[in-house]
Amino acid sequence: MSLHIDISPEEQLLISLCRLSFSEKQKKNIRTLAKKITDIDKFAYLANKHGIVALTYHNLKETGAGDLLPEDKMAHLANSRMKSLGRNTFLFKNIEQVLELFKQEKIKSVLLKGMALELSVYGNMGLRQMNDIDILVPHKQCMEARRILLKNGFQSIPLKSPLYNLILPYYGKHLPELIKGGISVEIHHKLFSGADHLLTERMLTNSTETTFNKSSVLIPPVREFFLYLVNHLDKHENNGESQLRLYTDLFCMVDKYGGELLDTALFNEAEAAGLEKILSAKLFLLKQYWGIYIPPAMEILINEKTPDNTSHLFRTFLAQPEGHPVLYNRAENYRQTIKQITGFHRKIIFITGDLFPTLRFMKKRYNTHSKLRALLYYPHRFGKLVYLILN
């Protein structure tokens, strides 16, 4: 575990704690870093904002570095960890009911994101903080899965336009969020951009069964799941936010499955999904800040494909996880969204719904309580659409 002079001791310590096991040398380095902390409030703030409070507290205790930090801050981290444990327990209790409903209707469902990682990588110890439930189902059955949850007490978040009910399975990667009793469920049916659903199909076809409590669940295959997490992290960063939690997921997968994961097949699949540069950048950072081993042939490819500003962007997000300008080209992103909608009539429905959303949406989007004021923004949306299409 190398120490980096380009980031603060607080940030170095956080990265050093973002793993599941430690050598004696690594433990010693962490205790050394803990002694260098000058802004404990910043450290606790970043641990919370990066979504790694539970893991931070656990690993501070595990490495003996917790004794070197103020008792009140450790107590605060301990309290936050207990809240995370409670949230995870609550989510796992509810996911059993959701999956059982799908099994009764013979809908195959695969866990994604935090739940799949908690069971397959983190060891079901409550260390991977989670906010909601993400499930992958076959595209042909996604609307049936949504209907089942609506029938059983879930409510959908409001749509931008009622017209979108006509095209729900044809735009985006998941259906609108469903909420019940304090939990949120997202039904995913497409995980990667482009018309080719091959990687998504592999996620379903090659999923494996695991158990927790007395339930059996499906988790994704390692390689495709890793690429999905890389893509998911990139989307967050393009939206101006990032978390060490998401980088920790990648590192822990490499740490556990590196032998079967880091090979040419990974890059072949990444290239097919248009993720070659994104994958290269994430592996570059995992090597630079976590010290993962990358085979020489892959390292040459990574160095060629990684954008020059990769380290700078990472350091920026590390110091301030939220509130950055959006990185992606909004016009290009909008055109791609429309392009991926199959059928000209569905494209027209999508654009019309975007031009004339509900007043409820308009009031929230433009932060006004006045219906009249919200109405005045409709011409603005038309101008935005023209700009996004022509630029």
Integer CA distances (angstroms), 190 to 141, 174, 197, 228, in order: 12, 7, 7, 10
3-state secondary structure of 350: helix
- The span from the CA of 204 to the CA of 119, in Å, is 17
Per-residue pLDDT tens digits for 157-177: 999 999 999 999 998 889 999
Q: How many CB atoms lie within 10 A of CB 263?
A: 14
The dihedral region occupied by 249, where left means phi > 0, alpha psi between -120 and 50, and beta the remainder, is: alpha
Mean of pLDDT values over 74-89: 90
User: Given pLDDT bands bounded at 50, 70 and 90, which one contains residue 196?
Assistant: low
Mean of pLDDT values over 81-109: 92
Per-residue pLDDT tens digits for 17-68: 999 999 999 999 999 999 999 999 999 999 999 999 999 999 999 999 999 9
Closest CA to 145 of 190, 171, 106: 106
Contact 250, 279 (CB under 8 A): no
3-state secondary structure of 183: strand
pLDDT for the residue numbered 288: 94
pLDDT for the residue numbered 1: 44
pLDDT for the residue numbered 194: 63
3-state secondary structure of 211: strand
Per-residue pLDDT tens digits for 210-236: 988 778 899 999 999 999 999 999 988
pLDDT for the residue numbered 239: 82
pLDDT for the residue numbered 125: 81
Contact 150, 177 (CB under 8 A): no
Beta strands in the chain (DSSP E): 110-111, 133-136, 155-156, 178-180, 183-188, 208-212, 215-219
pLDDT for the residue numbered 2: 47
For the chain, which domains are there? 89-220 (3.30.460.40), 330-390 (no CATH)
Mean residue pLDDT across the chain = 90
The one-letter amino acid code at 219 reads I
Top pLDDT among 197 and 364 is at: 364
Q: How many CB atoms lie within 10 A of CB 196?
A: 12
User: Given pLDDT bands bounded at 50, 70 and 90, which one contains residue 327?
Assistant: low
